[in-house]
């Protein structure tokens, strides 16, 4: 006799794009949209906030006079190739921000995208990494661990369109962004962060 285990099927609620916009306009929460699926954005940890503040302090000054500007997590990003609308932790846009035709708070042309990883967001942020790689304007993607170790992963678009991933794990390491003149130290990114 064969044992048969019946498990309930996973159920997903499908949302049309119009339903997503209605939800976004009528809630204080931020929601990400992935081709019909919604992910409600959660609050951020102390380490996450420390890292974000440190990034702004380390990078914003280096962008003066470059034609590039840093934007934080309240600005939504359209990833048309994935039918997705997401909120990166930070973005650098060079030149004039290109907005979607119908949404004034949704851009589509970042050069650099930053995601700060936590235990609860890492899987989703890594999924977004592959979406970001498909965007023509994106030249670099920076993933920063906030929950258990010093670790920064930088994805660099190569001339042939392929991507190189470089991992940094020492506070003495420095990363060089293509849009900034100076290097950024991991020591500066992780200032006041404790694991």
Contacts of range 184-190, beta carbons closer than 8 Å, 24 or more positions apart: 184/58, 184/59, 184/62, 185/58, 186/150, 186/152, 188/54, 188/57, 188/58, 189/51, 189/54, 189/55, 189/58, 189/144, 189/152, 190/51, 190/54, 190/150
pLDDT digits 0-9 by tens, 79-106: 999 999 999 999 999 999 999 877 778 9
Architecture of domain 43-189: Alpha-Beta Complex (3.90)
- Long-range CB pairs of 168-176, under 8 A, 24+ apart, other chains included: 175/142
**pLDDT tens column, 44-74:** 899 999 999 999 999 988 999 999 999 998 8
Identify the pLDDT of residue 10. Answer: 45
% of the chain exceeding 70 in pLDDT: 94
Query: What is the token pair recorded at 14?
Result: 């499908």
Confidence category of residue 111, pLDDT binned at 50, 70, 90: very high
CA distances 36 to 21, 40, 79, 83, 99, Å, are 12, 13, 13, 8, 22
CB 79 within 8 A of CB 85: yes
Q: Is the pTM of this model over 0.85?
A: yes
Higher pLDDT, 87 or 40: 87
Q: How confident is the model at residue 12 (pLDDT cuts 50, 70, 90)?
A: low
């Amino acid at each position: 006799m064969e044992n048969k285990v019946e498990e309930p099927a996973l159920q997903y609620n499908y949302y049309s794009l119009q339903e997503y916009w209605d939800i976004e306009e009528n809630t204080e929460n931020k929601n990400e949209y992935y081709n019909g699926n919604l992910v409600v954005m959660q609050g951020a940890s102390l380490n996450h906030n420390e890292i974000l503040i440190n990034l702004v302090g380390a990078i914003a000054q280096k962008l003066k006079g470059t034609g590039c500007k840093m934007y934080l997590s309240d600005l939504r990003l359209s990833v048309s190739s994935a039918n997705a609308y997401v909120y990166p932790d930070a973005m650098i846009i060079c030149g004039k921000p290109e907005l979607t035709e119908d949404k004034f708070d949704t851009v589509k042309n970042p050069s650099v995208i930053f995601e700060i990883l936590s235990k609860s967001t890492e899987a989703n942020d890594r999924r977004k990494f592959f979406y970001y790689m498909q965007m023509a304007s994106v030249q670099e993607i920076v993933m920063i661990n906030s929950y258990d170790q010093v670790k920064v992963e930088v994805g660099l678009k190569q001339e042939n369109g392929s991507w190189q991933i470089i991992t940094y794990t020492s506070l003495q390491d420095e990363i060089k962004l293509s849009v900034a003149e100076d290097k950024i130290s991991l020591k500066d990114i992780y200032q006041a962060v404790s694991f």
